[in-house]
């Protein structure tokens, strides 16, 4: 059943006193997740730059001059080597990103299928973000062992047109449906700091909560302003906004893993600690996101040690879901007996 959340109720949550909000989110987090475990995920740009879309935030759009060096699809062996290194560094999820508008049925897609198979054999959760997909393409990825597909709605339906004109939010929702229909878990979130209003942020949360079922994984990115893109001059989004957004998503969609994604280089360890307290259950670790810099593995290891966090096992989300179902079923059983 989709979550029916009014904009007013989300506003009330989002605007509540900061520490009250964090405590409330922390309580929800502890009920639904193992709060000591944070998933370390690793991102790799398998095909960089030259994208025909016009996403206003993106350094990989061909039309903006951002200095990102374009490269063709990486060889499978190189992708596999990177996945191995990530695993050795505690990552349990490996996400492959391609600067494509959509997947085409060609040799490159066959190569991506091969990459998914190879990474999956390492025992890691495989994730890909390749642009729009048909249901047939999604099924092929599912057969190869793809666990998650990342496809963000990025912002509210109302603000979407201000940021991207080469596709609509309906196109995005169609791909998300195709991913669902193929039985792949959905990773879908957005970006804050693009000049949107608080209501835009909350309408995005509302849209995510109303997906049936809601995404298993919700990345919250703070815009990384890149010179040469239309959003290159945006002022940095305050850490407090990010903490409020994570807490609000946590409360609105308790089952999802909320990912503290782009923008961590500007956050102190204390600010990140508040994000974890507010319900962030995952980070991207490693010196690069797709094209921009990110905290490297040793820094994050030190942070985990300091905060008493442990890296999350792969597929923990599936286990948590089963445990929740068992607890609920046994509670129902007890009610019936009593
Ligand atoms: N081309 C595919 C697509 O658009 O779905 C996959 C790659 S795309 C780079 C993945 C996501 O990265 C985008 O949806 C956006 O949310 C995020 N992203 C891209 N550039 C960003 C930036 N400068 N700051 C924050 N997030 C960004
Ligand atoms: C997501 O929501 N954030 C990640 C992942 N999904 C693919 C990407 C962030 C990219 C930040 C800009 C860059 O490094 O190019
Ligand atoms: Fe292309 Fe994805 Fe960047 Fe948009 S976000 S320009 S679709 S790579």
Domains of the chain are: 7-337 (3.20.20.70)
- Residue 189 CA: which ligand 2 atom is closest? 2
Distance CA 86, CA 313 (A): 13
Residue 301 Cα to ligand 3 middle (Å): 30
For position 1, what pLDDT does the model report? 44
3-state SS class at 93: strand
Phi-psi region for residue 90, left (φ > 0), alpha (ψ -120 to 50) or beta? Answer: left
Hey, whose CA ends up nearest to atom 2 of ligand 1? 131
Tell whether ligand 1 has an atom less than 6 A from the beta carbon of residue 100.
yes
| Dihedral over Cα of 261, 264, 266, 269: its sign | positive
For position 325, what pLDDT does the model report? 72
Residue 159 Cα to ligand 1 middle (Å): 16
pLDDT band at 331 (very low <50, low <70, confident <90, very high): low
Pocket test for ligand 3, best of 50, 51, 54 (most atoms within 8 A of CB): 51
Tell whether ligand 1 has an atom less than 6 A from the beta carbon of residue 155.
no
- Give the chain's mean pLDDT: 95
Q: What is the pLDDT of residues 252-278, one digit of tens each?
A: 999 999 999 999 999 999 999 999 999
For position 316, what pLDDT does the model report? 84
Residue 288 Cα to ligand 2 middle (Å): 10
Helices and strands: H and E segment counts in the chain:
12, 10
Helical H segments across the chain, by residue range: 7-14, 18-32, 76-88, 107-121, 135-143, 157-163, 169-181, 198-210, 239-252, 269-277, 297-307, 316-337
What contacts 253, CB < 8 A, 6 or more positions away? 3, 205, 208, 209, 214, 215, 218
Tell whether ligand 1 has an atom less than 6 A from the beta carbon of residue 144.
no
Rounded (10°) angle between helices 239-252 and 198-210: 30
The whole model's pTM is what? 0.95
Contact 308, 277 (CB under 8 A): no
> Residue 55: nearest ligand to its CA?
3
Distance CA 282, CA 204 (A): 20
- Residue 164 CA: which ligand 3 atom is closest? 4
> CB within 6 Å of ligand 2 — which residues?
43, 59, 95, 97, 129, 150, 152, 189, 219, 221, 224, 261-262, 289-292
- Residue 191 CA: which ligand 2 atom is closest? 2
Helix (H) or strand (E) holding 196, with range, is: none
Average pLDDT over residues 305-318: 92
pLDDT higher than threshold 90 for residue 112: yes
- Which tokens is 134 given? 């048909």
Contact 246, 286 (CB under 8 A): no
- Residue 60 CA: which ligand 3 atom is closest? 3
Check if 187 is active-site: yes
Check if 259 is active-site: yes
Q: What is the pLDDT of residues 20-63, one digit of tens each?
A: 999 999 999 999 999 999 999 999 999 999 999 999 999 999 99
Q: How far from the centroid of its chain's Cα atoms is residue 2's Cα?
A: 20
Helix (H) or strand (E) holding 237, with range, is: none
Cα–Cα distances in Å, from 185 out to 24, 122, 171?
27, 19, 18
- Residue 101 CA: which ligand 3 atom is closest? 7
Tell whether ligand 3 has an atom less than 6 A from the beta carbon of residue 99.
yes
pLDDT higher than threshold 90 for residue 113: yes
Residue 44 Cα to ligand 2 middle (Å): 10
Check if 275 is active-site: no
Pairing type for strands 148-150 and 125-129 reads parallel
Distance CA 321, CA 161 (A): 36
Distance CA 269, CA 145 (A): 35
């Amino acid at each position: 059943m989709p979550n029916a959340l009014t904009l007013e109720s989300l506003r009330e949550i989002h605007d509540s006193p900061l520490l009250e909000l964090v405590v409330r989110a922390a309580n929800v987090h502890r009920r639904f997740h193992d709060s000591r475990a944070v998933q370390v995920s690793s991102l790799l740009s398998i095909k960089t730059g030259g994208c025909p879309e016009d996403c206003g935030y993106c350094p990989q759009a061909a039309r903006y001059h951002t200095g990102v060096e374009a490269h063709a699809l990486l060889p499978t062996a190189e992708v596999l080597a990177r996945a191995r290194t990530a695993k050795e560094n505690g990552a349990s999820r490996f996400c492959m990103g391609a600067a494509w508008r959509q997947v085409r049925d060609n040799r490159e897609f066959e190569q991506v299928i091969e990459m998914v198979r190879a990474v999956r054999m390492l025992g890691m959760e495989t994730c890909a973000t390749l642009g729009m997909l048909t249901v047939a393409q999604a099924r092929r990825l599912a057969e190869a062992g793809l666990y998650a597909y990342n496809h963000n709605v990025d912002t509210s339906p109302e603000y979407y047109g201000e940021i991207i004109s080469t596709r609509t939010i309906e196109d995005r929702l169609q791909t998300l449906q195709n991913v669902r229909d193929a039985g792949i878990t959905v990773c879908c979130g957005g970006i804050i700091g693009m000049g949107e209003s608080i209501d835009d942020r909350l309408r995005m949360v509302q849209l995510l909560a109303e997906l049936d079922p809601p995404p298993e994984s919700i990345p919250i990115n703070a815009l990384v302003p890149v010179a040469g893109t239309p959003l290159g001059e945006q002022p940095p989004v305050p850490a407090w906004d990010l903490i409020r957004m994570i807490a609000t998503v946590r409360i609105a969609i308790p089952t999802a893993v909320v990912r503290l994604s782009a923008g961590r280089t500007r956050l102190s360890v204390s600010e990140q600690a508040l994000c974890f307290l507010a319900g962030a259950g995952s980070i991207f670790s490693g010196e690069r996101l797709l094209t921009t810099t990110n905290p490297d593995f040793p820094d994050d290891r030190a942070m985990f040690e300091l905060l008493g966090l442990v890296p999350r096992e792969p597929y923990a989300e599936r286990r948590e879901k089963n445990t929740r179902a068992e607890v609920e079923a046994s509670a129902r059983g007890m009610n019936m007996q009593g």
